[in-house]
Chain A
């Protein structure tokens, strides 16, 4: 489109300039005048060349109506510049908190787009890098939702910086856009290693309580508060009907093996390989309904199980020795 490759320092200067003029927002970006940019498209330039040709033809043939047409089209261009700008101006884009994903998966961004104007806004596009854009139409004072799937290439906290909201309506001669920089990092978990199994050599079995630490078993032991992600099978619907909220029945006698997924227990592989492996172990442990804990050089997560625990472990893996990064730059350079 208009991605020009600039030398490093110049690029950084412009990036700085952009950052100060487009401060990242935690939740919503209102496209006011200063956040909007507008440039001619390639067709805009082509149109201009055509008009130049037309102008010289009009001079050459001394044809007054050809002058009228040339000036009419120039005016149409100028008016459409304003219309394109106006089509994007005053739009409010907010981002719903995206769900964490595993590296390599597509992360789904959901945007709420609204405006308070009494005009219809056509062909509002959202685009990430060089992906095909998604278009929405806004009814007068209406709102709509746009979904966008962005590929992830590295674990960590992912802040997509290359999302633009743009429009070329009505004539396609101009491209008006604003940067959608949200300060809402998406957690990208390490890509789970393939074929990882819970092997004795990789995990350090927690010795003492293996058989005794039983919180669930065959015999009904009592009720405790329901935790998100737990199986609905064990919910006490009776208690729920009595208005006590969601409670989970606990049973005695169902032995759960418990284990540690330990950084130091893994010998081979690079940092990323190890983290991948650990991520897949977390998933495997969760899948086999084991109780597990996570040990990283600077973090320890106590043994537990359940969805929240799983995500806590994966988050720890995601951010381990991981500064924020700019995915777009890596995509471009890689």
Chain B
């Protein structure tokens, strides 16, 4: 049997006790695990401070170096704060806040000795998990953070276990059990805690690291860079069937300005009324847009609906009022056949005819000669498209580099290009020929996921096309790329490229692996749908679909309290029935009976007396049956302290003796 003993010095609080070496190591490890995934989000010097502090604390724990003196530590803390401010010019917000948290936690390590310090450090580690979600909410991040949560909780258990030795397996098991048991409760809270629309206070709209997407300008080479990126741009759930591939033009930034080398967006104000002539019913769908770091809300050409916090520019681009830095979900309606801009303002038409006269002279003269040759604008367009189709133009991801007069070089020299080359040159030719033209960027096509029945549109589906303005018809979409490479539009990009230029497509993989990848993408889509986008609206929809009568805010709170009380009550019931005091031994029951009998005679055992002393006293008081009493006590002591044989017989005689008293 182990005996625990202690020193008897007064302490102020249990948390003041000096922490054990093993728990200090555990907290060091726990901090490293929680912060390492952040190193890419932190300035190098902050990461260095983290590593040095943890290293110092570990060495100090091994008695290799002494504790960092206060007169060094305090200035370091000040310089750390100033350093963060110098880096970001603020100390609040996501990035600066994280850096400050990392720096201060590191310094806290250097002076951590006591129990309380370690507990606070563990809480800071829990907090660090939350900061990861401000950078990514993917399934991968969630899994990583779940594992981190188990490690941090295991550390918390180590600190509170007060054992000198760490049994890693036992720790991780206990921690995993604790976390595992929390999951059902967490789900209840996640589903039922009423969501409040945010934000509560102003947040700087910081950009996620490494976000890719369409930009607000277009120059040669830009989109072909995007093409190599197989990240998902957005996913689309159609209410009915998916339109044919060649109709899937996802409208993004519209560029009406041209400065001779690049196309860029015109500043145009939003419009209150959509001036669209439509003939056929709308196609309804829901877009789940990945963060693009810009304002673009992608929609099928031509969107005929507005979503909250968005507006439609006069050139029919749907833009959000704030940057898309989080996954965004919106339901949309579009018409594939439409007429827009028949009454376009002269001012805007003049803008869409502008081009710098001193650049690309050959192209401009070609455009002017076409205008002289043909009367009808349609004929000019046909002539140019025929030129693309019949002359030696190639569609390639690796076009040769171009100089200052890029369009001239492309049209009359290299003749190898990508969608932005064709769209850009076509729009310039149109303008030179006197036809208002603009470039539209966005995505074309998409890959149908037959596991989840939705469309995946990737960055590699990025595309650029043009719109020309024709009298009586308004703005008409012309895609010159389709003239060069019809398969790009009809079957998707990968079919238009030669084998050595292929891009990522699940459908090109072998069917088994392909289905696995579709399943994985479907999981991500459901994750986006059910976890990341579980907001006020989604919550209400989901709860009303459950048909439990939970309709509003107060119902949710009621259900929540009811469930929590139910679970608590269940626990208390278990406790009541499972944890009962051990049944007293038979001889103790008999002994109690004896004492009770004696107390009737006014003989009470004093707490300070043991049984022998008590009985001696009883005997002294002249109790008549003192011999029997002595026998009973003898039996009692024999059963209690003697060997186990004959217990039953002794109990029986004890019982009869007590009865006879």
State the A residues within 8 Å of B (CB): 1, 26, 30, 32-33, 41-43, 46-47, 50, 54, 56-76, 78-80, 82-83, 85-86, 89-90, 92, 97, 106, 116, 120, 122-123, 125, 127, 129-137, 143-151, 157, 168-172, 183-185
Contact = CB atoms under 8 A, between A and B. Distances in A.
Given A57-B130, A66-B130, A43 B178 contact: no
Given A62-B326, A79-B181, 17 more contacts: A1-B13, A60-B203, A65-B531, A67-B190, A68-B531, A69-B129, A69-B149, A78-B564, A85-B575, A86-B575, A123-B162, A143-B1, A157-B608, A171-B153, A171-B156, A172-B159, A185-B607
B200 A60 contact: yes
A185 B609 CA distance: 10
Interface in B1-46: 1-15, 17
A72 B182 contact: yes
Nearest to B185: A75
A43 B15 contact: yes
A144 B2 contact: yes
B142 A65 contact: yes
A216 B15 CA distance: 60
A86 B10 CA distance: 28
Contact of B199 (A61, A82, A97): A61
Contacts of A147: 3-6
A54 B579 contact: no
B539 to A, nearest CB: 11
Nearest to B124: A50
B189 to A, nearest CB: 4
Contact of A131 (B1, B8, B134): B8
Interface size class of B (residues with CB under 8 A): 35 or more
A188 to B, nearest CB: 13
A72 B149 contact: yes
B269 interface: no
Given A92-B582, A123-B160, A172-B119, A134 B182 contact: no
Contact of A169 (B2, B157, B326, B534): B157
17 contacts: A67-B195, A75-B181, A76-B179, A79-B181, A83-B178, A89-B575, A122-B161, A123-B160, A130-B10, A131-B11, A134-B4, A145-B2, A146-B5, A148-B6, A168-B160, A169-B160, A184-B608
Contact of B190 (A68, A79, A170, A171): A68
A133 B14 contact: yes
B156 A137 contact: no
A22 to B, nearest CB: 14
Contacts of A132: 6-11, 17
B133 interface: yes
A172 to B, nearest CB: 4
A56 to B, nearest CB: 6
B4 A76 contact: no
A76 B178 contact: yes
A75 B186 contact: yes
Contacts of B120: 43, 46
Interface of B: 1-15, 17, 116, 119-120, 123, 126-127, 129-130, 133-134, 137, 141-142, 145, 149, 153, 156-157, 159-163, 170, 174, 178-179, 181-186, 189-190, 193, 195-201, 203, 326, 531-535, 564, 571-572, 575-576, 578-582, 607-608, 610
A66 B120 CA distance: 20
A127 B190 CA distance: 40
A58 B194 CA distance: 13
B561 to A, nearest CB: 13
Q: Which of A68, A89, A147 has the most CB of B within 10 A?
A: A68
Contacts of B5: 134, 146-147
Contact of A116 (B2, B162, B179, B582): B582
The SS class assigned to the A binding surface is: mixed
Contact of B137 (A63, A78, A86, A145): A63
A171 B15 CA distance: 13
A131 B10 contact: yes
Nearest to B580: A32
Contact of B189 (A56, A75, A131, A151): A75
Given A71-B193, A76-B182, A59 B200 contact: yes
Given A66-B130, A169-B160, A144 B11 contact: no
A130 B4 contact: no
6 cross-chain pairs, A with B, having the tightest CB-CB distances, nearest first: A75-B185, A75-B182, A134-B6, A71-B189, A65-B133, A30-B581
Contacts of A92: 581-582
A97 B181 CA distance: 42
Given A56-B200, A123-B160, A135-B162, A144 B15 contact: no
A292 to B, nearest CB: 23
Q: Which of A30, A69, A185 has the most CB of B within 10 A?
A: A69
Given A59-B196, A183-B607, A130 B12 contact: yes
B259 to A, nearest CB: 38
A168 B4 CA distance: 18
A97 to B, nearest CB: 8
Nearest to A25: B607
Contacts of A144: 1-4
Contact of B6 (A33, A72, A133, A143): A133
Nearest to B181: A79
Nearest to A130: B10
Contacts of A120: 170
B169 to A, nearest CB: 13
B378 to A, nearest CB: 49
B199 A1 contact: no
Given A76-B182, A171-B157, A66 B14 contact: no
Contact of A33 (B161, B198, B576): B576
A116 B153 CA distance: 27
A143 B2 CA distance: 9
Q: Which of B10, B184, B608 has the most CB of A within 10 A?
A: B608
A92 B170 CA distance: 25
Contacts of A83: 178
A30 to B, nearest CB: 4
Nearest to B136: A65
A71 B13 CA distance: 30
A315 to B, nearest CB: 10
Contacts of B581: 30, 32, 92
A323 to B, nearest CB: 15
A144 B3 CA distance: 6
B119 A43 contact: yes
B14 A71 contact: no
